[in-house]
Structure 1
Amino acid sequence: MLRARPDSRAEQGGEDQDEQTVRVARRRFARRQWARRWLAWRPILVALLLLGLAGAAGWLVLFSSTLAVASVRVTGTDVLDTAEVRRTAAVPLGEPLATVDLDAIAARVEGLAPTQSVDVSRAWPDTVRIAVQERVAVAVVEREGIVRGLDDEGVLFRSYPSKPAGLPVVRMAAATRSEALAEAALVIDALPDDLSGKVDYLEVRTVDTISLVLRNGRTILWGSAEDSANKAEVLDVLLDRKAQVYDVSVPGQPTITR
């Protein structure tokens, strides 16, 4: 009896298919292994990348000359000279903009008498900006032939070659303190327009000793700025009486001296 011989080509095809299946399985296994390794290493690599970027950014901002101070911009000056502000500010040119001490610059500029307030900021990439708000004169002080501006805080901050029109005049004693000048500024602000137009000058000795000298030579003892509205109302009635001195320092008990 004859037996069928196995087909060698079929056997070879089966072996090739098995090998291909093994190779595919190995590749899939390798990809899974790589994926697992990548998942494990990815946070570390991302962290290293971020750390590198942060380090580069830190070096660029804190140490590189790319973002160093190259200019100073001053705004808001009228009385002050911008060159004087720059000299006083002493901004360190060439140093990294991020490390400049803005508070120290502001403190130096605030030391200038005409400066009421100042805002110092960084204007990237290379500029320090100094915005000055100057004091505004509400009166002038005449003393020993010198005319100076007085602001609403009682600060003398500038000089005038002569008395400017529209500003009341304050005369002070040698021992008058800044608190008394500030009080005088409050009195000026509280005076009604009709009375203010009659005043030749204010005379200030202390906080409680402020007088108004009118253009007709009469004197008003005003006292402090407290209760100025009532003082003005009482004075409006008293001025109808002929006198040389009107005392409204205590508005509830006014007196006149002929």
Structure 2
Amino acid sequence: MGGAAGGTTTADTRGETQRPDPGGAPAPAAPGRLKRLRLRAAGFARRLRPRRPARTGMLILTLVAAAGVVGFGVWALYASTWLRVERVTVDGTRELTADQVRSAAGVPMGEPLAAVDTDAVASRVTEALTRVRSVAVEREWPHGISLTVTERTPELLIPKPGEKGTFTEVDAEGVRYAEVRTRPRGVPLLTLDLADHPNNQRFGRERLRAEAVHIVTGLPEGVREDTRVVRVRSYDSVTLELTRGRTVVWGSGESGRQKAEVLTALMKAEPDATHFDVSVPTAPAAADE
């Protein structure tokens, strides 16, 4: 038959791929490709869709709750009567009393605890009480302020001119901080015998006092306990007067550690000596005068 010989059978077209006719309309898209295009369009539409009212409402409620918590906290700290100063405790005092420290601190009772300026409190204490070297100010919730005081320790005493029996205490930093009428036990007396000496024009009294403190704080423990007077005639002429009539020519404050070690060995080697000279530590001397 002519149709069977010159045309294409149905069975022959099943195994071939359709190609677009160059002169006609494009071939229809495959079903799988159409499905993918539909899914992409649906996803794009979902992204453009506005958020659900339920999610927006939940976000608003969360923000309102957070603002409420913050506002309540601020009110509780500063406006309520719950967290107010009701007591001020003091620790660490030796010579001072707790009432003296509280008075100098000036912590306002009844003020919100969070509003207390702890730095200002510490400054008031150290400015009003020179005996205080430092003070730690801390809040003790819900109603307290604690003051932990560190008092200065006297290393030397300076006789007050014109007032017999009155002394000024000097600490390890060379700070003159308090006057006492009873001489503390074990604290040496500083005597400045500043005659006409060339070095005394170069070094002032403050510098010489600082050198004396430096010497005393570096003494061996036993020697320090026995020292009664530190006599300064110039920067390089310092003498220690000890118990039992003993004296130590120290010289200047230089090489203090070496001098302390030499003096300790010299006192052990010469227990009956009353005069020691370590001003030149490489050539020490001891004598019984």
Same fold (TM over 0.5): yes
Counterparts of 1:124-139 in structure 2, within 5 Å, are 124-139=141-156
Query: For residues 53 and 213 of structure 1, what CA distance do their matches in structure 2 show?
Result: 70
2:110 aligned counterpart, secondary structure: coil
1:255 Cα deviation from its structure 2 partner: 9.0
- 1:202 alignment partner, one of 211, 221, 230: 230
Percent of paired sites with the same residue? 35
Q: Which residue of 2 aligns with 1:84?
A: 100
Comparing 142-151 and 122-131, the one that deviates more: 142-151
Deviation sequence 1:93-146 (CA, Å, 0-9, x none): 222211111111111112221112110011111222111111122343333421
Tell me if the contact between 1:89 and 1:105 (Cα under 8 Å) persists in the aligned partners: yes
> In the superposition, relative to structure 1, how do residues 233 and 73 fare at CA in structure 2: closer, same or farther (>3 Å)?
closer
Tell me if the contact between 2:186 and 2:226 (Cα under 8 Å) persists in the aligned partners: no
Query: For residues 71 and 209 of structure 2, what CA distance do their matches in structure 1 show?
Result: 56
1:231 Cα deviation from its structure 2 partner: 2.5
Tell me if the contact between 2:186 and 2:225 (Cα under 8 Å) persists in the aligned partners: no
Counterparts of 1:1-258 in structure 2, within 5 Å, are 36-111=52-127, 112-144=129-161, 145=164, 146-172=166-192, 176-177=205-206, 179-193=207-221, 195-196=223-224, 199-204=227-232, 208-214=236-242, 220-232=248-260, 248-252=278-282
Amino acid in structure 2 at the alignment position of 1:122: R
RMSD: 3.5
Amino acid in structure 2 at the alignment position of 1:162: T
Q: Structure 1-normalised TM-score? A: 0.69
Amino acid in structure 2 at the alignment position of 1:229: R
Query: For residues 240 and 185 of structure 2, what CA distance do their matches in structure 1 show?
Result: 18
Aligned length: 221
Query: For residues 69 and 117 of structure 2, what CA distance do their matches in structure 1 show?
Result: 26
Q: Which residue of 2 aligns with 1:19?
A: none
Comparing 48-57 and 158-167, the one that deviates more: 158-167
Tell me if the contact between 1:180 and 1:205 (Cα under 8 Å) persists in the aligned partners: no
Tell me if the contact between 2:239 and 2:249 (Cα under 8 Å) persists in the aligned partners: yes
Query: For residues 162 and 253 of structure 1, what CA distance do their matches in structure 2 show?
Result: 40
1:254 Cα deviation from its structure 2 partner: 6.9
Query: For residues 92 and 148 of structure 2, what CA distance do their matches in structure 1 show?
Result: 6
1:153 aligned counterpart, secondary structure: coil
1:83 Cα deviation from its structure 2 partner: 1.7
Tell me if the contact between 2:187 and 2:228 (Cα under 8 Å) persists in the aligned partners: no
Query: For residues 133 and 176 of structure 1, what CA distance do their matches in structure 2 show?
Result: 27
1:36 Cα deviation from its structure 2 partner: 4.1
> Structure 1 unaligned runs (5+)?
1-34
Tell me if the contact between 1:207 and 1:224 (Cα under 8 Å) persists in the aligned partners: yes
Amino acid in structure 1 at the alignment position of 2:215: V
Q: Structure 2-normalised TM-score? A: 0.62
2:82 aligned counterpart, secondary structure: helix
Query: For residues 208 and 88 of structure 1, what CA distance do their matches in structure 2 show?
Result: 42
Tell me if the contact between 2:158 and 2:167 (Cα under 8 Å) persists in the aligned partners: yes
> In the superposition, relative to structure 1, how do residues 139 and 57 fare at CA in structure 2: closer, same or farther (>3 Å)?
same
1:81 Cα deviation from its structure 2 partner: 2.0
Deviation sequence 1:3-51 (CA, Å, 0-9, x none): xxxxxxxxxxxxxxxxxxxxxxxxxxxxxxxx94322210111111110
2:139 aligned counterpart, secondary structure: strand
> Structure 2 unaligned runs (5+)?
1-50, 195-203
1:84 Cα deviation from its structure 2 partner: 1.8
Amino acid in structure 2 at the alignment position of 1:102: T
> In the superposition, relative to structure 1, how do residues 164 and 46 fare at CA in structure 2: closer, same or farther (>3 Å)?
same
Comparing 50-59 and 231-240, the one that deviates more: 231-240
1:227 Cα deviation from its structure 2 partner: 0.9
Query: For residues 206 and 90 of structure 1, what CA distance do their matches in structure 2 show?
Result: 45
Larger Rg: 2
Tell me if the contact between 1:143 and 1:171 (Cα under 8 Å) persists in the aligned partners: no
